[in-house]
Amino acid sequence: MNPLTILRDSLYFFRRHFTRIVQLCLPLVVLEALFTQLLQRHLGEDASPAYAMLVSLLFYPLYSAALILYLDTRSRGQETPKRDLFARAVQLWPTLALLILLSSLLIMAGLALFVLPGIWVMINLVFAEYLLVLRGLPVIESMRASARLTKGHFLRILSCVLAVLAPLWLLDGLLLTLFPEPRPGVQLALDSLSGFLQLFSSVVLYRLFMLLEDKPAA
């Protein structure tokens, strides 16, 4: 499981299915960015980050579940209508939103203790969404199963995550330099672009998830 091979295969899939992924996820990503922007304008710059998290919990579980289901069906050579993917995503929304909320709180608690505990928690929970959406595990069991699945693969998973996120952080920094005080429309476009590109990490983690799940137990 060479990280470079995983990234190469994931990039090939992302490029090949780019149009479908755009159609599936971008409208909700834009809505999420729009609602966040409107909320920030209404509450002011001193508003608690918890409000932005609530907006994310409204939209992210929907397009995340839809994308995971799409990745799974296409990887098995199946073609599922978009409406069916969203219908299933809506059914999964309550439990997936709870999982994401609990995971976020645990990661933030770990980061508050110093950076490394937060990173350790994040890596241990990277497959929880896939286990809930694709295997139907309950919230807590998804988190436990994810921790078991990542055991012994911390550095490999971290390398893949950083290889995806580091260029996105650089891009965000570059865009912030180019647009230090963007107008609302430009800000919406930048936030939507950033949110959509981060979905590539879901493709990479799905590839890792399938490889580790298929790996025989030692």
Q: What is the pLDDT of residues 183-198, one digit of tens each?
A: 889 999 999 999 999 9
Question: pTM (2 decimals)?
Answer: 0.93
Residue 111: what pLDDT? 84
Q: What is the pLDDT of residues 43-64, one digit of tens each?
A: 776 667 777 888 999 999 999 9
| Residue 65 tokens, joined | 């579940």
Q: What is the pLDDT of residues 7-49, one digit of tens each?
A: 999 999 999 999 999 999 999 999 999 999 888 888 776 667 7
Residue 215: what pLDDT? 66
Of 95 and 114, the one with more pLDDT? 95
Residue 116: what pLDDT? 84
Half-sphere exposure of 215 (CA within 13 A, CB side): 15
> Could you tell me which of 17, 126, 12 has the C-alpha nearest to residue 80?
17
What's the chain's average pLDDT? 91
Residue 218: what pLDDT? 44
| Residue 33 tokens, joined | 């960015």
One-letter amino acid for residue 73 of the chain: T
Q: What is the pLDDT of residues 72-94, one digit of tens each?
A: 999 888 888 999 999 999 999 99
Residue 47: what pLDDT? 65
Residue 136: what pLDDT? 95
Which helix (H) or strand (E) is 75 found in, with range? helix 49-75
Q: Is residue 51 a contact partner of residue 24, using CB atoms and an 8 Å limit? A: no
Around Cβ 121, how many Cβ atoms within 10 Å?
A: 20
